[in-house]
Amino acid sequence: MNERTLRIVLPVVVLALGVVLWDLIVRINGIPPYILPGPVLVLTTLCADWSILWTSLLATLETTIEGLALAVIGGIGLAVLFNQSRLIEHSLYPYAVILQVTPVVAIAPLLLIYLPQQAAVLACAWIVAFFPVLANTTLGLNSVDRNLADLFRLYRASRWQVLWELKLPAALPHMLAGLKIAGGLSLIGAVVAEIAAGSAGAGSGLAYRIAESGYRLNIPRMFAALLLLSLAGIVIFALLSLLSHVMLRRWHESAIAREG
């Protein structure tokens, strides 16, 4: 079997073994579903509660994608601004770091007091997602080939030309790497905020469903919602990886398959 097949087959085998083991443990020990439901029950719950869970999934995904979009706009925009002006960079960068290192779980309840619920959830997703985009784009903009920069100077390129023709394309691989991290983090931010909001009142996202099911001891639904969240995370990562591959495949080392 070649490397490629192994990379697909092995994780599937591990998954199958895990599920079988899970099922056996539940059956042999006769564990009741309100403590640990078996895999079959989780799947049937997923089907039975599909309409509720699907609506919740869409709500969470909407927050995640909006948060990510704002993070990309804010992160890249701020990185470009920092790159153009040392003054702005020195004034604002420490606060971007502070925003990043303060745990979002701790900020969420405050945001929920001052902002409408939907805006607060979105703000949480944005806060955690924007920093990797900012940090990676900043790194990319600063790692331009010096000789290429000299070449642009030799041909009297304007500031705008240097940014558009040289710095942004050079930073693209870093930006896309930041985006891949930000996608997952945005989902985490949305979930954290939904959980925090869940105790405060009405919510409709998947994380809210998990919290709500927990209060009602509806453990199978908790598992079903968790499964969906996980799948959503995987799909987001896969899509962003694909985007990165498509944009870099002609020229960047990271996207080129090694032959031989």
Partner 1 sequence: MVAPSRGSPIVSLRGVGKVFGTGTLALDGLDLDVRGGEFVSLLGPSGCGKSTALRIIAGLSEPSRGAVTWMDGAGSGHARDIGFVFQEPTLMPWATVFSNVFLPLKLEGLDKAAATPRVMATLARVGLADFAGAYPRELSGGMRMRVSIARALVTAPRILLMDEPFAALDEITRFKLNDDLVALWRELRMTVVFVTHSVFESVYLSERIVIMTGRPGRVSSELAVEQPNRDAQFRTSAEYAAFCRQASEALAQAMRAGAGAAA
**Sites of contact with partner 1 (CB under 8 A):** 145, 147-148, 150-157, 161, 165-166, 169-170, 172, 250-253, 256
Closest distance between partner 1 and the C-beta of residue 161, in Å?
6
- Least distance from partner 1 to the Cβ atom of residue 151, Å: 6
Nearer to partner 1, 5 or 147 (CB): 147
| CB closer to partner 1 out of 155 and 215 | 155
Kindly tell me which of 68 and 141 has the beta carbon lying closer to partner 1. Answer: 141
Identity (one letter) of the amino acid at 136? N
CA-based angle 255:248:145, to the nearest 5? 100
Cβ(127)–Cβ(104) below 8 Å = yes
Q: How far is the CB of 172 from partner 1 (least distance, A)?
A: 7
Question: Least distance from C-beta 155 to partner 1, angstroms?
Answer: 4
Q: Please say which residue, 171 or 232, places its beta carbon nearer to partner 1.
A: 171
Three-state SS letters, the chain: CCHHHHHHHHHHHHHHHHHHHHHHHHHHHCCCCCCCCCHHHHHHHHHHCHHHHHHHHHHHHHHHHHHHHHHHHHHHHHHHHHHHCHHHHHHHHHHHHHHHHCCHHHHHHHHHHHCCHHHHHHHHHHHHHHHHHHHHHHHHHHCCCHHHHHHHHHCCCCHHHHHHHHHHHHHHHHHHHHHHHHHHHHHHHHHHHHHHHHCCCCCCCHHHHHHHHHHCCCHHHHHHHHHHHHHHHHHHHHHHHHHHHHHHCCCCHHHCCCCC
Q: Which is nearer to partner 1, 114 or 160 (CB)?
A: 160
Q: Closer CB to partner 1, residue 4 or residue 156?
A: 156
Least distance between partner 1 and beta carbon 242 (Å): 19
For the bound state, the minimum distance from the C-beta of residue 134 to partner 1, rounded and expressed in Å, comes to 22
